[in-house]
Amino acid sequence: QVQLQQSGPGLVKPSQTLSLTCAISGDSVSSNTAAWNWIRQSPSRGLEWLGRTYYRSKWYNEYAVAVKSRITINPDTSKNQFSLQLNSVTPEDTAVYFCARNSHSEGRPFDYWGQGILVTVSS
Amino acid sequence: DIVMTQSPDSLAVSLGERATINCRSSQSVLYSSNNKNYLAWYQQKPGQPPKLLIYWASSRESGVPDRFSGSGSGTDFTLTISSLQAEDVAVYYCQQYYRTPYTFGQGTRLEIK
- Give me the mean pLDDT over the B41-67 stretch: 98
Contact A46/B50, CB-based, under 8 Å?
no
| B37 vs A30: CA distance, rounded Å | 27
Res B19: pLDDT: 98
pLDDT confidence of A26, banded at 50, 70, 90?
very high
Res A107: pLDDT: 84
Res B24: pLDDT: 98
pLDDT digits 0-9 by tens, A65-118: 999 999 999 999 999 999 999 999 999 999 999 999 998 888 889 999 999 999
Q: What are phi and psi of A48, to 5 degrees?
A: -130, 120
pLDDT digits 0-9 by tens, A30-72: 999 999 999 999 999 999 999 999 999 999 999 999 999 999 9
Contact B95/A47, CB-based, under 8 Å?
yes
Residues with Cβ within 8 Å of residue A8, at least 6 apart in sequence:
A18, A19, A20, A21, A97, A117, A119
Cβ-nearest to A62 among B49, B100, B106: B100
- Give me the mean pLDDT over the B60-74 stretch: 98
| B100 vs B112: CA distance, rounded Å | 35
Other C-beta atoms lying within 10 Å of the C-beta of residue A82: 24
Closest to B28 (Cα-Cα) out of B56, B2, B54, B8: B2
Res A115: pLDDT: 98
Let me know: does B21 contact B6? Beta carbons within 8 Å. yes
| B17 vs A7: CA distance, rounded Å | 41
Residues with Cβ within 8 Å of residue A111, at least 6 apart in sequence:
A2, A100, A101, A102, A103, B52, B55, B61
CA distances from A19 to A78, A120, B74, B96, B106 (A): 18, 12, 38, 27, 27
Could you tell me whether strands A117-121 and A11-12 are parallel, antiparallel, or unpaired per DSSP bridges? parallel
Residues of A in contact with B34 (CB under 8 A): 107
User: From the CA of B34, how many Å to the nearest CA of chain A?
Assistant: 10
Confirm or reject contact between B109 and chain A (CB < 8 A). Answer: no
Cβ-nearest to A114 among B49, B93, B101: B49
Res A106: pLDDT: 83
Residues of B in contact with A52 (CB under 8 A): 100
Residue B37 has pLDDT above 90, yes or no: yes
Res A104: pLDDT: 80
